[in-house]
Amino acid sequence: MTESSLPVITLDGPGGVGKGTVGQRLAQRLGWHYLDSGAIYRALAWGAEKADIDLSDTQALVSLAKKLPLRFAPDPGDVCRVIYQDTDVTGQVRTESCGRSASRIAAIPEVRAALLDRQRAFRQPPGLVADGRDMGTTVFPDANLKVFLLADPRVRAERRVRQLNDKGINAIMADVLQEIRKRDEQDATRRASPLLPAEDAIELDTTSLSIDEVLNRILELYRKKTDRPASGR
């Protein structure tokens, strides 16, 4: 099987829509690999800050992006660990301030281009679930199934507050909602790979769905699309 014929399911959509949780569970169910592309942008932003790189210094960002000392480590819980130069930075990269910086550097086309190969390298047997903003449009345009997740901004803000609180991070609903709206606007209006569903993506509104319901719908869509049982094992 060539690399490009390995199955890929892409999950794109705005922040707080549940891509991460759904993506990881989906990958577990199928026995596939999982790519959290947002964590790559976050790790780059974090690394740039540590290296005193100005977030508008495209050349320095590109050079760091090309040799980013980042790896993911599996975690028995839901979150996969983000390891930067042998240090676990999972908590640090998840903060709103790191998300804001990630969104800023993600708007630079040269930075996006420098991270393309690294993301595509996650396409390994037996398959990949990739979550982000441009997985179906740019990174894996030949994916077998492309899902674009949507949810009301209020519901997304509530989910994010819960997620942050669970990690012991204090978060205020009004601030998170404002941040989500700002990031949506920034991600959707940028010129490089804006947050948009691929033409052949299936839109799924998760506002009133549980994680399990979203998961089952995606497995069903994959089964229908490929005419295969929804299990990779």
Confirm or reject binding of residue 42 to ligand C5P (CB under 6 A).
yes
Confirm or reject binding of residue 13 to ligand C5P (CB under 6 A).
no
| Residue from 18, 23, 38, 136 in contact with ligand C5P (CB under 6 A) | 38
CB of 233 to ligand C5P, least distance (A): 28
The conformation of residue 141, written as its DSSP 8-state character, comes to T
Confirm or reject binding of residue 198 to ligand C5P (CB under 6 A).
no
CB nearer ligand C5P, residue 37 or residue 219: 37
CB nearer ligand C5P, residue 41 or residue 72: 41
Confirm or reject binding of residue 187 to ligand C5P (CB under 6 A).
yes
Helices (H) and strands (E) in the chain, counts: 10, 8
| Residue from 10, 24, 90, 103 in contact with ligand C5P (CB under 6 A) | 103
CA distance 127 to 5: 9
CB nearer ligand C5P, residue 109 or residue 126: 109
The conformation of residue 82, written as its DSSP 8-state character, comes to E
Confirm or reject binding of residue 179 to ligand C5P (CB under 6 A).
no
Confirm or reject binding of residue 132 to ligand C5P (CB under 6 A).
yes
The conformation of residue 139, written as its DSSP 8-state character, comes to I
Stretch that binds ligand C5P, among 100-108, 140-148, 171-179, 216-224 (CB under 6 A): 100-108
Give me the DSSP letters along 89-138.
-HHHHTSHHHHHHHHHHTT-HHHHHHTHHHHHTT--TT-EEEEESSIIII
CB 162 within 8 A of CB 30: no
How many residues interact with ligand C5P (rule CB under 6 A)? 14
Confirm or reject binding of residue 46 to ligand C5P (CB under 6 A).
no
Beta pairing class for 145-150 and 202-205: parallel
CA distance 167 to 68: 26
Q: What is the CA 125 to chain-centroid distance, rounded?
A: 20
Q: What residues line the site for ligand C5P (CB under 6 A)?
A: 15, 37-38, 41-42, 99, 102-103, 106, 132-134, 183, 187
